[in-house]
């Protein structure tokens, strides 16, 4: 093959790949520049019997929103929008059992759901109102309570990642 044939083949290959990449965007995906608007994380309540979920979710949401950078995190109450929420579900389901004992669970799936609401501070208009979930798995070992306690932060981080994606990229 000569050089012109290689160039033509390379150009044809590039042109076939370009249409698949047209939906990708570099930078913020919201309708406004990153950091132009601010968000405050308001009150989050817990309707489950599991303790320590509020703190874990608050920390995970703050961390994830700061990492994303679309919104500036505001702590003084002068934000453009306010995020509030209610933790509605915390559950555990068995994934697998001990190989030699089919009655003793080995791995569990943990689930966490929260109804999150984002309101415009000035107008009070609801911009986002949706149930968001997070999941993680744990190996029980000899102490299920300790394994769950350690997994709560991972569970909250998964929920916060899902919520941040929906809040900053969603069409609300």
125 within some domain? yes
Residue 1's pLDDT is what? 64
CATH number (domain holding residue 77): 3.30.160.150
59 is in which domain, residue-wise? 34-169
User: pLDDT of 119-161, one tens digit each?
Assistant: 999 999 999 999 999 999 999 888 888 889 999 999 999 999 9
Average pLDDT for residues 82-94, to the nearest whole number?
96
Report whether pLDDT(31) > 60: no
Query: Any bridge partners for residue 138, and if so which?
Result: 108
The pLDDT mean for the chain works out to 86
State how far the alpha carbon of 129 is from the alpha carbons of 84, 105, 111, 117, 168, in Å. Answer: 10, 36, 20, 4, 13
Residue 56's pLDDT is what? 97
């Amino acid at each position: 093959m000569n050089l012109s044939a290689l160039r033509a083949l390379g150009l044809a290959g590039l042109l076939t790949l370009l249409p698949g990449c047209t939906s990708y965007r570099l930078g913020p995906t919201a309708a406004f520049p990153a950091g132009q608007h601010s968000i405050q994380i308001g009150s989050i309540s817990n309707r489950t019997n599991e303790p320590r979920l509020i703190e874990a979710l608050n920390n995970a949401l703050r961390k994830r929103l700061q990492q994303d950078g679309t919104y500036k995190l505001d702590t003084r109450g002068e934000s453009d929008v306010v995020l509030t929420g209610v933790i509605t579900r915390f559950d555990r389901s068995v994934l697998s059992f001990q190989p030699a004992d089919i009655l003793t669970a080995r791995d569990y799936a943990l689930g966490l759901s929260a109804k999150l609401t984002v309101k415009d501070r000035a107008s009070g208009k609801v911009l986002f109102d949706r149930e968001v979930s997070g999941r993680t798995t744990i190996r029980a070992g000899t102490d299920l309570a300790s394994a769950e306690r350690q997994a709560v932060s991972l569970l909250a981080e998964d929920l916060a990642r899902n919520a941040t994606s929906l809040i900053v990229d969603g069409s609300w």
